[in-house]
With several copies, the nearest count.
Chain A
């Protein structure tokens, strides 16, 4: 089991009712972690819509992560 810091933004933050939490997980990829947390962010499939960052660097959904990492889940952006 790994322990990671998860941060939720915008719609995800509102749905989760929190901006961040510490999560214990056996997920190996960021996609697995995202799916395990569907009860928080409410989204079944992030592909093409949502983005993920690992320790303040944009990441791929299939990327692994390590104990102690910080994972940021971004719903579709809309700047400007």
Chain B
């Protein structure tokens, strides 16, 4: 795949609101027929508890290098043209955009697959931790999705500290 767009670095961490319009424009490409984007928004409920806000802790050096590697591997593997990803750190309110991933490709199948692969890997491979604050005053660190999928018990970890 030609890499006409000079987008490096393609993974970013920001403490500011994510500017989705600007990110989309960076991917404009006359050789691309498809653009797919994913956004993760702060939801008002998780596992039955009412969420009021949350905070992300990020270890930037490794989050950036692993994110860059994920995007690079995905573009090559899927054959999409270009991709960008941004993850928030710090506090977010309900409805806030916590993560954005965008991919352009010649045809749509590649853009859908690459966007999905990138967000799936970002969620389990980047050193990023999410602390949820609940309506009842509790708070807790959310466990990684991979562990949840494997059915491990993490009672000790999801209890508020």
Contact = CB atoms under 8 A, between A and B. Distances in A.
Interface of A: 9-11, 13-15, 42-43, 48-49, 51, 53, 56, 58, 72, 74-80
B155 to A, nearest CB: 12
Given A78-B141, A80-B99, A49 B123 contact: no
Contact of A10 (B57, B124, B126): B57
Interface of B: 40, 56-57, 59, 61-62, 65-66, 87, 98-99, 119, 122-131, 141-145, 147, 150, 152, 154, 156-157, 161
* Of listed A11, A42, A49, A79, residue having the most chain B CB within 10 A: A79
Contacts of A77: 123-129, 144
B157 A11 contact: yes
Interface secondary structure of A, over-half rule: loop
Given A11-B141, A48-B147, A49-B154, A78 B129 contact: yes
